[in-house]
Amino acid sequence: MTTALVVDGANVVGSRPDGWWRDRAGAARRLHERLLVGDLPQDLVVLVLEGAGKGGVPAGRDGHVRVVHAPGNGDEAIVAEARSAADRGARVTVVTADRFLQARVQGVGATAVGPTWLWDRLD
């Protein structure tokens, strides 16, 4: 079975008080770089970026990581990506600390985990 990891970029970046708010694009770029070299078990990683974070990484595929630029609030794009992957038969994990978003993605068949789960695998 194919596996997919959908990452709420803003939420994951915002989970660490490392000054990300001074350079949202740079923070998104650093997360993307970590995802590219991280030893993650998923076949595909989808990084959803919104707002100023979109300036740090172009949309598109880079190896096993696909970057999606949300047209507005990232939640809708995250749910759409989770639903699409689940509809294709993938086992989907979504990384976000947003409890409302966690409930929404669980409703489309995804598993939800918090940012600590991801950081533990990237550190």
Mean pLDDT of 7-29: 95
Dump pLDDT digits (tens) for 71-106: 988 999 999 999 999 999 999 999 999 999 999 999
Spell out the SS3 assignment of 61-121.
EECCEEEEECCCCHHHHHHHHHHHHHHCCCEEEEECCCHHHHHHHHHCCCEEECHHHHHHH
Dump pLDDT digits (tens) for 51-73: 999 999 999 999 999 999 999 88
Q: Which two tokens stand for residue 49?
A: 């970026």
Taken in order 31, 50, 97, 5, the sign of the CA dihedral is negative
Give the CATH number, domain containing residue 92: 3.40.50.1010
Local structure of residue 14 (DSSP, 8 states): T
Strand order in the sheet with 91-95: 60-62, 65-69, 44-49, 3-8, 91-95, 111-113
Query: Residue 19 is part of which domain span?
Result: 3-122
When divided into structural domains, the chain yields a total of 1
